């Protein structure tokens, strides 16, 4: 009897299964229903873009990996975009918090197909491979401008690069830090020991030691670009060790700057202006001024220039001289003398009389890395190979 009863149970399940399948089938009917609709909806969108193209607005698509107000990388870009958004004849479509998955391709595709974008600016490093390469292949008429220097021969011709080197900004910020510190101990919260981060740490301490040669800097790598908990712990442990100025290079410096303010120590920012996070302790910071790039691109694209035929340069790169990199407004803790010194240094960097990478530069094991008499300009590819920490840095890359 028991056995027979238990047979009834699956029978009920059969009905349930049938119903579920029917529901599935019903929805699949819905899909086909939709796809037959799609013909009409497509044609309406097409006619929509047709009427749009009569007054020819230039549609630019921007993708950010973070939020537009993350006080970091994405915010710096979004601020730049905001400035060109007001230009006549320019229409911006932007999307924030786009993860580095197939989503990137989907978003770019929608921007091109639905919004009619003719140039796409995917702003995160991680978007490049494979996503931008893939889309550039599929849309050869659309221009893709990626914020990096990753393009190599053999990659699609419709990809351009732009980048700003931050070393000079960090160098001047380091000088400001050295003139503010009382303990002579600086700290640096960094994401990963990769070339751009290492260069920022190095130029920060080189700037500091060009003012006070005995200043030391303690570096903590959190291991990833976005690690708010570890960033807070790192900042606290640096403060515990007597560090009184903290520099930072992570995706969003928000946590580090706020924690430093709580601990009543000074901070030097990165990416975007973070003054309002730490009104007392914020000294200054290296900030990107992407608007300068974007204005430039808008002018060139409007003039009908294209990266495919070389009328837009493959790589546009610059730094303080071109105003691509700026220092954030000085905080109240920065002395008048330090302000003056920073402005002088900026001026010297702009006219080329001060080069950050001027020998002799030793690493923190005492080995000479750039010999005396050698100096490298910011665009020198040698700098992309730097994987050592400069003298005065306490920490290691491995």
Partner 1 sequence: MSKTPQSRIWIANGLGMLSRYNWRKIAEAIALPVGALLFSLILFGIFCAFCGKNPFAVYGLIYKSAFGSWRSFQGTLLRAAPLMLTALCTALPARLGLMIIGNEGALVMGGLGAIAAGLLLSYGSITPSPEQLQNVSGIPSAGVLLGMALAGIVAGGLWIAVVGALRHYRAVNETISSLLMNYIAIALMNHLVGGPIKDPGETIKASSFSLPEMNRLINLPTTRIHYGLFYGLIACVIAYFLIQRTTFGFAARTAGGNVKAARIAGLPVGKLTVMICFLAGSCAGLAGMAEVAAVHGRVNESLVAGYGYTGILVAFVARYNPIACTLVAVLLGGILSSGGALQRTLDMPDATALVFQGLVFLVILFSESLYGRFRVFKEPIAPIAAPPLPPSSSTTVSA
The residues binding partner 1 (CB under 8 A) are 5-6, 8-13, 15-17, 19-21, 23-24, 27, 30-31, 34-35, 37-38, 41-42, 67-68, 93-103, 105-107, 109-111, 113-115, 125-126, 128, 130, 148, 150, 192, 194-195, 223-224, 384
Torsion from C-alpha of 32, 38, 40, 45, nearest 10 degrees: 170
Task: Decide the pairing of beta strands 361-362 and 368-370.
Answer: antiparallel
Minimum CB distance to partner 1, residue 28 (Å): 10
Q: Which is nearer to partner 1, 13 or 335 (CB)?
A: 13
Helix (H, G, I), strand (E, B) or coil at 54: helix
Q: 201-204 long-range CB contacts below 8 Å, 24 or more apart?
A: 201/247, 201/249, 201/389, 201/390, 201/393, 202/167, 202/386, 202/389, 202/390, 202/393, 203/166, 203/167, 203/168, 203/170, 203/171, 203/174, 203/356, 204/170, 204/171, 204/173, 204/174, 204/177, 204/247, 204/268
Angle, alpha carbons 192-197-202 (nearest 5°): 125
Minimum CB distance to partner 1, residue 331 (Å): 29
Helix (H, G, I), strand (E, B) or coil at 42: helix
Q: Which is nearer to partner 1, 250 or 278 (CB)?
A: 250
Q: Which is nearer to partner 1, 128 or 376 (CB)?
A: 128
Minimum CB distance to partner 1, residue 113 (Å): 7
Minimum CB distance to partner 1, residue 60 (Å): 12
Minimum CB distance to partner 1, residue 183 (Å): 33
Q: Which is nearer to partner 1, 53 or 97 (CB)?
A: 97
Q: Which is nearer to partner 1, 125 or 295 (CB)?
A: 125
Minimum CB distance to partner 1, residue 270 (Å): 18
For residues 123 and 147, the answer to whether their CB atoms sit within 8 Å is yes
3-state secondary structure string across 104-173: HHHHHHHHHHCCCCCEEEECCHHHHHHHHHHHHHHCCCCEEEECCCCCCCCCCCCEEEEEECCHHHHHHH
CB neighbours of residue 191 within 10 Å: 20
Q: Which is nearer to partner 1, 66 or 247 (CB)?
A: 66
Count each helix (H run) and each strand (E run) in the chain, helices first: 10, 17
Minimum CB distance to partner 1, residue 12 (Å): 5
Q: Which is nearer to partner 1, 68 or 306 (CB)?
A: 68
182 Cβ neighbours under 8 A, 6+ residues apart: 244
Minimum CB distance to partner 1, residue 34 (Å): 6
Minimum CB distance to partner 1, residue 133 (Å): 11
Q: Which is nearer to partner 1, 17 or 50 (CB)?
A: 17
For residues 111 and 144, the answer to whether their CB atoms sit within 8 Å is no
Q: Which is nearer to partner 1, 22 or 347 (CB)?
A: 22
């Amino acid at each position: 009897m028991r056995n027979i009863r238990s047979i009834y149970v699956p029978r009920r399940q059969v009905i349930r299964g049938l119903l579920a399948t029917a529901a599935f089938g019903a929805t699949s009917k819905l899909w086909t229903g939709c796809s037959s609709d799609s013909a009409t909806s497509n044609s309406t969108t097409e006619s929509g873009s047709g009427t749009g193209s009569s007054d020819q607005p230039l549609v630019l698509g921007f993708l950010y990996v973070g939020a537009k107000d993350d006080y970091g990388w994405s915010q710096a870009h979004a601020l730049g975009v905001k400035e060109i958004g007001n230009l006549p004849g320019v229409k911006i479509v932007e999307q924030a918090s786009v993860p580095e998955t197939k989503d990137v391709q989907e978003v770019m595709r929608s921007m091109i197909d639905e919004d009619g974008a003719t140039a796409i600016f995917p702003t995160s490093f991680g978007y490049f491979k494979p996503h931008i390469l893939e889309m550039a292949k599929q849309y050869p008429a659309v221009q893709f401008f990626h914020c990096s220097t990753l393009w190599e021969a053999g990659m699609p011709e419709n990809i351009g690069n732009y980048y700003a080197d931050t070393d000079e900004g960090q160098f001047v910020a380091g000088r400001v830090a050295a003139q503010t510190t009382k303990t002579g101990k600086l700290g640096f919260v960094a994401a990963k020991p990769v070339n751009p981060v290492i260069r920022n740490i190095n130029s920060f301490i080189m700037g500091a030691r060009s003012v006070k040669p005995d200043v030391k800097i303690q570096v903590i790598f959190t291991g990833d670009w976005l690690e708010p908990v570890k960033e807070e712990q790192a900042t606290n442990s640096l403060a515990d060790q007597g560090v009184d100025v903290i520099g930072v290079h992570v995706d969003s410096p928000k946590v580090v700057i706020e924690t430093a303010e709580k601990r009543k120590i000074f901070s030097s920012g990165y990416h975007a202006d973070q003054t309002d996070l730490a009104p007392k302790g914020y000294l200054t910071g290296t900030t990107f001024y992407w608007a300068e790039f974007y204005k430039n691109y808008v002018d060139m694209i409007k003039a009908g220039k294209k990266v495919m035929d070389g009328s837009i340069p493959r790589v546009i790169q610059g730094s303080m001289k071109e105003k691509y990199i700026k220092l954030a407004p000085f905080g109240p803790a920065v002395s008048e003398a330090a302000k003056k010194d920073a402005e002088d240094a900026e001026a010297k960097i702009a006219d080329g009389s001060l080069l950050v990478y001027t020998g002799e530069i030793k690493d923190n094991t005492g080995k000479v890395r750039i010999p005396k008499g050698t100096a490298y300009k910011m665009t020198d590819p040698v700098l992309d190979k730097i994987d050592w920490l400069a003298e005065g840095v306490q920490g290691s890359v491995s």
